[in-house]
Amino acid sequence: MTADLLALVDWLKAQQVTHVAMESTGVYWKPVYNLLEGEVEVLLVNAKHIKFVPGRKSDVKDAHWIADLLQHGLLTASFIPDAPQRDLRELVRYRSHLIQERSREANRIHKVLEDANLKLSSVATDVLGVSGREMLTAIIAGQNDPAALAQMAKGRMRQKIDDLQRALTGRIRDSHRLLLKLHLEHIDDLNTKLELLEGEIDTLLIPFDQDHLLERLQTIPGVGEKTAQVIVAEVGCQVDRFRSAGHLASWAGLTPGKNESAGRNYSSRTNKANRYLKSALVESAQSLARSRDTFLANRFHRLKARRGHKRAAVALARSILEIAYHIIKEGSVYHDLGPTYHDLRRKEQVQHGLVKRLESLGYSVTLEPRAIA
C-alpha cells in the first residue's frame, strides 16, 4: 500500500541510502518508482541484463545480487522520462490501443456481412463511410430490400447503384442485425473516447512542441501527425540521453541482432524493445512503398529488391528514427536528397549495368549524352 511505500522511503532516508536499483517487472515497479523519485537516485534495470547469473533461487537473493552490482557500478539504468512525458506516453499508447480495437470491430462487421451473404465491401471502399453507415443502420432497423438499400448511396457511390443492389442481396437474420448494432455502438463509443484523448494529447504536447518540433518531424516522408506525436511521446524533445542515433535505434528495437557461432550466422531478428515506437515507424516506412519520388522511398525499393519487404520496412524505420534524432538534436528540418541520389553517386556503375542487361537481351547499345537546354 502507499503508506507502506512511504514508510520504506523514510527508512531508506534514515539509513542514508542514496541509490536504489530494481528490476523492471511488468507495471509493478511503477508505484515504487513514483514514491522514490526525487528522494533517492533510482535505477530501473532491464532484468535481461542481470538474469544470466547462476545460483540465485529467490527474490531475496535477486535483490542481494542487484545491490552488489549497483555498489560496483555495473548496472545500466533504463530510460525513464519525467512525469509529464510519462503522462503523455500513457495517453498516446492508449490511443493506439483504441485505434487497433476500432479496426478489429470494423473487421467483425465485415465478417457479419459475409455471413449474411452481403458483399457490400466488394463495392464500397469504406463500409463505415457515410453511405455504408446509412445502409447498415437501415439493415439493423429491418430493411431487406436491396433496391431501397442501394438508393441510400451518396456522391460517387451512386454510380454503382446496380452493383450495390446485387451486393446487398443476401440472407439477413436477426442475429446478424443484433451483432451489427453492437459493433456499430462499440465503434461510436471508441470514436467518442478517441476525440476526448486527442484533445488531452494536444494539451499535453504543448510544452514538448519546442520550435515547432512536430511540424519539423513531419517534413520526413512518411511521418504524419500521429507518428510525430508518438516520436515525441516516446523519445521526448531532448535526445542527449542517447549517445548517438544508432543508440536510439537500438533502444527502439530497430537494430538487427548478431548471432554467430563457429563462423555461421543464425537469426538476426530485432528485439521487442519499444513496440509502440517501433510499430509506428514501421507503419510509416511501409507507407513509402506506394511512392518513388523521394530519397527514402527509393531507398525502400532498393532494399526491398535485395532483402524483401519486411526487412526493408524495418531498415527504413531505423533511417526515419535516425533522421528524427538529428532533427530533434540540431533543431533542423529534413532536406530530401531526391530519388536519384544513389544513381548519381555511382553513375558509371549504373550505366554499365544497364548496358550489360540490354546487351544480354541481344541489343547493341550506343550512348549519347543529352543536350542540356
3-state class (DSSP) for residue 267: coil
The CATH number, out of the four listed (1.10.150, 2.30.42, 1.10.287, 1.10.3470), of the domain defined by the range 84-207: 1.10.287
**CB–CB of 108/183 below 8 Å?**
yes
Q: Cell numbers 541489343 correspond to what residue?
A: 363
Q: What is the pLDDT of residue 173?
A: 93
Locate 122 and state its grid cell. 466488394
**292 Cβ neighbours under 8 A, 6+ residues apart:** 298, 301, 339
pLDDT value at residue 147: 92
What is the pLDDT at residue 328? 95
3-state class of 201 per DSSP? helix
Q: What is the pLDDT of residue 370?
A: 80
pLDDT along the chain (373 residues), means of 10: 92 93 87 91 83 63 86 86 93 96 96 93 90 94 92 90 92 94 97 97 93 94 95 93 92 78 64 88 92 91 91 94 95 92 87 90 87 65
C-beta neighbour count of 93 within 10 angstroms: 15
What's the distance, CA 158 to chain centroid? 37
Per-residue model confidence (pLDDT) at position 62: 81
pLDDT value at residue 131: 92
Residue 222, CA distances (Å) to 107, 174, 245, 291, 328 in order:
25, 44, 19, 10, 17
**Residue 52 to residues 47, 121, 273, Cα–Cα distance (Å):** 9, 52, 19
Looking at residue 165, what is its pLDDT? Answer: 93
> What are the residue ranges of CATH 1.10.287 in the chain?
84-207
Task: Read off φ and ψ for residue 334, nearest 5 degrees.
Answer: -85, 130
The predicted pLDDT at position 324 comes to 96
CA separation for the pair 311, 347 (Å, rounded):
26
Confidence (pLDDT) at 168: 93
